[in-house]
């Protein structure tokens, strides 16, 4: 019974203050690529250059890590919408301009952070506590804001003829699917959805299509 095996590799200690943030970023990529069940905590830790048990140390569980990572990402999304000026509801052309700006920022954010809607897509295919939580906490505010103006924009002939109850998901699908499916876009079209010109063309197209009366 030797107290220390002779050829055990030396214990490397990699102390870093930002390990929590690195784990959050890594979790977003892995959850976005594989979904909650498909992603493994080992892969998340490896990508963050950490050890698997550190996830249970810095977060309570795999699920707690998921909630923290999604909170973090929606915080970034909210920040991307900062500074939008919401005009008087009766000034419909100004409302349309503001919505166009929201759509453009939505496109750019989704291009920069495809993980958000990748995770939403993975989750939205099946009812779950995680889905209920993310919708109540993060999605409903944006849905409510769009509901408040879409009907009036349609009546004024500015917005495309899509039902109020459907516009949120139709618009979200049109905006985010090319970035969520970026690997498929590359295979199918040979174009690069992270190219800035690609992103702006996509934003122009979506705005012109969904707000044709602008």
Q: Give the residue with the Cβ less far from a copy of itself, 16 or 189.
A: 189
Q: What is the DSSP string of 152-163?
A: HHHHTT-S-S--
Q: What is the DSSP string of 6-66?
A: TTPPP------TTHHHHHHHHHHHHHHHHHHHH--HHHHHHHTTS-THHHHHHSSSHHHHH
How many positions of this chain bind DNA (CB under 7 A)? 27
Minimum separation from the CB atom of position 66 to DNA (A):
10
- Rg for the chain, CA atoms, rounded: 21
Sign of CA dihedral 88, 90, 93, 96: positive
Binding site for a copy of itself (CB under 8 A): 32-38, 114, 118, 120-127, 131-132, 135, 139-140, 143, 160-163, 165-166, 168-178, 180-189, 191, 198, 201-202, 204-206, 208-210, 212
Contact set for DNA, span 40-99 (CB under 7 A): 40-43, 50-58, 61-63
Instruction: Report what 124 binds from a copy of itself, DNA, none; CB cut-off 5-8 Å by kind.
Output: a copy of itself
Binding residues for DNA (CB under 7 A):
5, 8-9, 11-16, 19, 39-43, 50-58, 61-63
């Amino acid at each position: 019974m030797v107290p220390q095996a002779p050829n055990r590799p030396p214990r490397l200690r990699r102390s870093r203050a930002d390990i929590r943030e690195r784990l959050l970023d890594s979790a977003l990529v892995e959850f976005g690529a594989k979904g909650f069940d498909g992603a493994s905590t080992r892969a998340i830790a490896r990508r963050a250059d950490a050890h698997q048990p550190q996830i249970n140390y810095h977060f309570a569980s795999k699920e707690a890590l998921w909630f923290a990572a999604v909170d973090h990402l929606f915080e970034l999304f909210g920040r991307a919408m900062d500074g939008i000026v919401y005009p008087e509801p009766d000034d419909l052309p100004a409302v349309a301009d503001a919505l166009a700006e929201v759509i453009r920022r939505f496109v750019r954010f989704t291009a920069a952070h495809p993980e958000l809607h990748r995770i939403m897509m993975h989750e939205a295919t099946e009812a779950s506590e995680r889905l209920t939580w993310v919708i109540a906490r993060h999605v409903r505010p944006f849905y409510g804001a769009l509901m408040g103006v879409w009907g009036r924009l349609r009546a004024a002939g500015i917005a495309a003829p899509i039902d109020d109850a459907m516009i949120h998901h139709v618009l979200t699908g049109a905006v985010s699917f090319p970035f969520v499916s970026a690997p498929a876009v590359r295979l199918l079209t040979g174009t690069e959805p992270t190219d800035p010109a690609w992103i702006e063309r996509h934003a122009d197209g979506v705005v012109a299509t969904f707000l044709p009366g602008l």
